[in-house]
Amino acid sequence: MKHSPYAQQISRRKFLASSTVTSLAMLAPQLALAQSSMPVRQIPGTDKVLPIVGLGSSKVVTGIAENGPAPLEAVLEALIEHGGSMVDTWPRNVDNDGAFGEVISQEGIKDALFITTKIDQIGKQAGIDQFEQTLRLYQRDSVDLAQIFSLTDLDVHWPSLRDWKEQGKARYIGVTVSQEALYAQLEAFLKREKPDFIQLNYSIAERMAESRLLPMAADMGVGVIINRPFMNGSYFERLRDMPLPEWTSEFDCNSWAQFSLKYILANPLITCVLTETSNPLHMVENAMTASSQLPNEVVRKRMAKYIDQV
Ligand SMILES: NC(=O)c1ccc[n+]([C@@H]2O[C@H](COP(=O)([O-])OP(=O)(O)OC[C@H]3O[C@@H](n4cnc5c(N)ncnc54)[C@H](OP(=O)(O)O)[C@@H]3O)[C@@H](O)[C@H]2O)c1
């Protein structure tokens, strides 16, 4: 199997050599430069853009309880230094979310990130309470994107999200799914409402969104955020000990992570892909894949066929 060049690149970084993580605030002067180094895609219907690889922060934020905030800081530093900005979040508990809020509120960092949150409660008031608590813990007057998690209590929460957008508490609003069983419900929702974003699962190994939802979102001018690019890790288990095929060198692919990410990023209908990681090495690899050579349509078909056979 080929070895990723990114391990070598990041190994010289101080934050990996020490358990004391460089303060994110120290990065502030570099941010303008870093932010321009990752390819971006337009947020439909706006003149704003988003860097195409983001962080799914679920595990690293949950891990604050056990490991403190340093691992989160290291992953965020890797994201920001390589031009990324989107951080997808999901309220968990007051201690974790409060610590997360401390980290993302550091001077010079606050404005570098595109912060999302989700509502996963049942009942209108419970959703409102959850959102207000998130704003308080994140130390923000607004989030960049408020989403309804997995279409939970969808018709109850959607008017609240519209209110928050109107009130300036959420710049954009949307809904998420992460399994095909919810696609029909998402499609029905898109026939009656127009969110700014949908978030859904899509990868080299989960391609069902290609047939209907991705073209539908594009036709409607809805932004698309991708989750499960590695099927929450089960993609790697499936490919464990398998070498990359030789022909992947034709599009500069050096790892199975890049294999799925490049497949996703080569699809022009997506706006941003979230990669969940607690490992700064992986964050750097994922971020740098955004700027790498991407496969053409012929190669993408070959990739899909290959994955279907293993
Ligand atoms: N319904 C919803 O709203 C919903 C549902 C699911 C997910 N999401 C969002 O999507 C995000 C993505 O999460 P996911 O569940 O879909 O996970 P994922 O990104 O598909 O996979 C995460 C796994 O991949 C590993 N990984 C990441 N980069 C790697 C690399 N370069 N090389 C090797 N391993 C790598 C991670 O391990 P390491 O930590 O060791 O890197 C982790 O085990 C979540 O954090 C969340 O924000 C939303």
CATH number at residue 277: 3.20.20.100
SS3 of 56-119: the string is ECHHHHHCHHHHCCHHHHHHHHHHHHCCCCEEECCCCCHHHHHHHHHHHCCCCCHHHCEEEEEE
pLDDT tens for each residue of 240-299: 999 999 999 999 999 999 999 999 999 999 999 999 999 999 999 999 999 999 999 999
Residue 131 clears pLDDT 70, i.e. is over it: yes
Cα–chain center distance at 43: 15
Q: Is residue 130 part of a domain?
A: yes
* pLDDT, mean of residues 193-204: 98
Using the atom order of ligand 1, give the atom closest to the CA of residue 150.
1
Task: Report the nearest-CA residue for atom 15 of ligand 1.
Answer: 232
- Render the burial of 245-256: b for 16+ CB within 10 Å, e for the rest: eeebeebebbbb
Task: Report the nearest-CA residue for atom 44 of ligand 1.
Answer: 56
Q: Is the CB of 183 under 6 A from ligand 1?
A: no
**pLDDT for res 125:** 98
Q: Is residue 47 part of a domain?
A: yes
Task: Report the nearest-CA residue for atom 22 of ligand 1.
Answer: 232
Q: Is residue 121 part of a domain?
A: yes
Using the atom order of ligand 1, give the atom closest to the CA of residue 255.
32
Residue 175 clears pLDDT 90, i.e. is over it: yes
Question: 30: which 2 tokens?
Answer: 């570099």
Distance CA 264, CA 2 (A): 21
**pLDDT for res 108:** 67
Residue 305 clears pLDDT 90, i.e. is over it: yes
- Going from the C-alpha of 85 to that of each of 78, 260, 273, the distances in angstroms are 11, 21, 11
* pLDDT, mean of residues 224-251: 97
Residues written for the chain: 310
What percent of the chain is predicted at pLDDT more than 70? 88
Q: Is residue 37 part of a domain?
A: yes
Query: 94 burial class (0-12, 13-18, 19+ CB within 10 angstroms)?
Result: exposed
- Going from the C-alpha of 292 to that of each of 15, 38, 274, the distances in angstroms are 25, 10, 17
Residue 194 clears pLDDT 50, i.e. is over it: yes
Q: What is the DSSP string of 191-206?
A: HH---SEEEEE-BTTB
**pLDDT for res 9:** 40
Q: Is the CB of 88 under 6 A from ligand 1?
A: yes
- Whole-number Å distance, alpha carbon 192 to ligand 1 midpoint, is 30
Q: Is residue 216 part of a domain?
A: yes
- Whole-number Å distance, alpha carbon 199 to ligand 1 midpoint, is 14
| Among the listed residues 156, 143, 137, the one whose alpha carbon sits nearest the alpha carbon of residue 113 | 143
What is the sign, positive or negative, of the torsion defined by CA atoms of 192, 198, 204, 206?
Answer: negative
Domain of residue 16 covers 6-309
Q: Is the CB of 227 under 6 A from ligand 1?
A: yes
Q: Is the CB of 225 under 6 A from ligand 1?
A: no
**pLDDT for res 16:** 38
The number of domains in the chain is: 1
Residue 30 clears pLDDT 70, i.e. is over it: no
Residue 21 clears pLDDT 70, i.e. is over it: no
pLDDT band, very low/low/confident/very high, at 111 (cuts 50, 70, 90):
confident
Residue 67 clears pLDDT 60, i.e. is over it: yes
Residue 199 clears pLDDT 70, i.e. is over it: yes
Q: Is residue 1 part of a domain?
A: no
Of 147, 277, 292, the residue with max ligand 1 atoms within 8 A of its CB, to mutate for a pocket test, comes to 277
Question: Are the C-beta atoms of residues 206 and 183 closer than 8 Å to each other?
Answer: no
Residue 158 clears pLDDT 50, i.e. is over it: yes
Q: Is residue 223 part of a domain?
A: yes
Q: Is residue 56 part of a domain?
A: yes
- Whole-number Å distance, alpha carbon 281 to ligand 1 midpoint, is 14
Q: Tell me what the pLDDT averaged over the chain comes to.
A: 90
Q: Is the CB of 130 under 6 A from ligand 1?
A: no
pLDDT band, very low/low/confident/very high, at 32 (cuts 50, 70, 90):
very low
